[in-house]
């Protein structure tokens, strides 16, 4: 630990606030430079003005508890507003026959909790509507790891189906895996590992035909795809306007540029949405109800999420999407135009994976990542299989993308000459 910090005990006496903050700055010395655009993971930057707004909004609600909106009705109002805005962005306004009026939703702490809730709701739907006591869900190997956590937590069998060569879900093979105990089919828009949008209309049609629920994991794409659609950069169908999609999730703290952690999950009907909240009076404290996994719910992220939606508006998000698309397009063009490098599949949005061209075989992907970090401080998550570097491109990267492209070209040339391979083959995503 830094000087002056106890290893495992509470200090005998309090410390002045300035000194505490100074110590925190010391602890951050090895943290990655996300503000400078060097990090292509975990953090999304819309600029200093947005970060300042987020801090001010969150501070206004730093002590409030969103568990009880009767005590803090402003938080109930903001939550409802966020859900309503998200419904419009995710196709609710384009659902046939006024179906959009029946969409209901909740806020969660992030994409993982949204996927947990989608799975739990499907399990409970299977129990109550179809009498299924040993449920399963069918999903591609590209679907997020949080579904495995959900399967573990809620005793739902996870049936993972290999993706096609372009990394999209193999919907025919998924259809073959559905049986009388299936409660949920999953599609990604886009998938986290390779950034491709699954064939959602086909997948949802199969789910509807087989009488099971269909969840679209748009946690990553939910606040970028609607704007790429409007700008004409993306034309695939993926949201609630697709018949057969029964729920969808989108993270406001990703391309919505809100503070961590806030996500939205939407259900096509009120009946399905009613299966998510937990309500009990089986204790001595009276009626207890919670809409998501948490009891106490931090109010700061809700306030910051509402504030950034109001601050940016449609034109602001379109501008950020344009910047993000430009940066991602430049990076992808450099990768595809550099001998020895290749993209993994054909990414549909602004998230992609890349590395050494497997048909060429001269570039070790993880050595490429190490070289980029050493040369310019660039950070990309590692993935496997196949070995790849993962890039989540956001608006903050546009200012530095030319520098990244130059470094990509330079280090690739060096590796082609040296043939160097990385000794470290680890691919940890998250905290183990």
What's this model's pTM, rounded to 2 decimal places?
A: 0.93
Q: 397: which 2 tokens?
A: 């990267």
Domain with CATH 3.90.1150.10 in the chain: 313-418
What does the chain come to in residues? 432
Domain with CATH 3.40.640.10 in the chain: 60-308
Beta carbons within 8 Å of 5's beta carbon, 6+ residues apart: 23
pLDDT in tens, 55-73: 999 999 999 888 888 899 9
Three-state DSSP class for residue 147: helix
CATH number for region 313-418: 3.90.1150.10
Burial class (CB in 10 A: 0-12, 13-18, 19+), 195: buried
Rounded Cα gap, residues 348 and 336, in angstroms: 15
* Architecture in CATH for domain 60-308: 3-Layer(aba) Sandwich (3.40)
- Radius of gyration (Cα) for the chain, nearest Å? 23
- Sheet of 157-161: strand order equals 104-108, 263-267, 247-251, 213-217, 182-188, 136-140, 157-161
Output 35 or 230, whichever has higher pLDDT. 230
Mean pLDDT of the chain: 94
Mean pLDDT, residues 414-420 taken together: 92
Q: 108: which 2 tokens?
A: 């969660």
Q: 303: which 2 tokens?
A: 């306030």
**DSSP output for 189-229:** SS-TTT-PPP-HHHHHHHHHHHT-EEEEE-TTTTTTHHHHH
Distance of CA 384 to the CA centre of its chain: 19
pLDDT in tens, 336-359: 999 999 999 999 999 999 999 999
Q: Can you give the pLDDT at residue 6? A: 54
pLDDT in tens, 289-325: 899 988 889 999 999 999 999 999 999 999 999 999 9
pLDDT in tens, 106-155: 999 999 999 999 999 999 999 999 999 999 999 999 999 999 999 999 99
Q: Write the DSSP symbol of residue 13.
A: S
């Amino acid at each position: 630990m830094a000087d002056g910090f106890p290893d495992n005990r509470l200090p005998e006496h309090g410390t002045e606030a300035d000194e505490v903050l100074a110590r925190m700055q010391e602890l951050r010395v090895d943290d990655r430079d996300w503000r400078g655009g060097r990090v292509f993971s975990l953090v999304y930057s819309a600029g200093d003005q947005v970060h300042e707004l987020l801090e001010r909004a969150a501070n206004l609600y730093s002590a409030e508890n969103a568990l009880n909106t009767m005590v803090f009705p402003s938080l109930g109002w903001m939550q409802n507003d966020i859900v309503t805005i998200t419904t419009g962005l995710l196709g609710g306004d384009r659902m046939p026959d006024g179906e959009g009026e029946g969409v209901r939703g909740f806020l969660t702490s992030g994409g993982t909790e949204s996927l947990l809730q989608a799975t739990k709701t499907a399990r409970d739907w299977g129990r109550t509507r179809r009498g299924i006591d040993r449920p399963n869900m069918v999903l591609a190997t590209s679907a997020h790891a949080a579904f495995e956590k959900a399967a573990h937590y809620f005793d739902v069998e996870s049936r993972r189906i290999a993706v096609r060569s372009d990394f999209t879900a193999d919907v025919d093979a998924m259809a073959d895996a559905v049986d009388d105990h299936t409660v949920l089919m999953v599609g990604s828009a886009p998938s986290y590992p390779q950034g491709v949008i699954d064939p959602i209309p086909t997948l949802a049609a199969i789910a509807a035909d087989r009488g099971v629920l269909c969840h679209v994991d748009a946690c990553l794409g939910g606040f970028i795809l609607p704007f790429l659609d409007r700008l004409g950069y993306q034309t695939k169908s993926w949201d609630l306007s697709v018949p057969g999609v029964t729920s969808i999730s989108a993270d406001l703290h990703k391309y919505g540029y809100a503070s961590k952690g806030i996500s939205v999950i939407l259900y096509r009907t009120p009946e399905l949405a009613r299966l998510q909240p937990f309500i009990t009076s089986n204790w001595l404290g009276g009626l207890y109800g919670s809409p998501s996994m948490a009891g106490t719910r931090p109010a700061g992220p809700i306030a910051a999420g509402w504030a950034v939606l109001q601050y940016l508006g449609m034109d602001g998000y379109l501008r950020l999407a344009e910047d993000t698309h430009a940066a991602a397009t430049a990076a992808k063009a450099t990768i595809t135009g550099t001998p020895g490098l290749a993209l993994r599949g054909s990414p549909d949005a602004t998230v992609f994976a890349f590395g050494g061209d497997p048909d060429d075989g001269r570039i070790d992907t993880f050595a490429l990542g190490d070289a980029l970090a050493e040369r310019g401080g660039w950070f990309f998550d590692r993935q496997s299989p196949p070995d790849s570097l993962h890039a989540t491109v956001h608006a903050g990267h546009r200012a530095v993308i030319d520098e990244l492209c130059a470094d990509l070209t330079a280090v690739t040339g060096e590796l082609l000459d040296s043939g160097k391979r990385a000794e470290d083959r680890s691919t940890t995503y998250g905290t183990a």
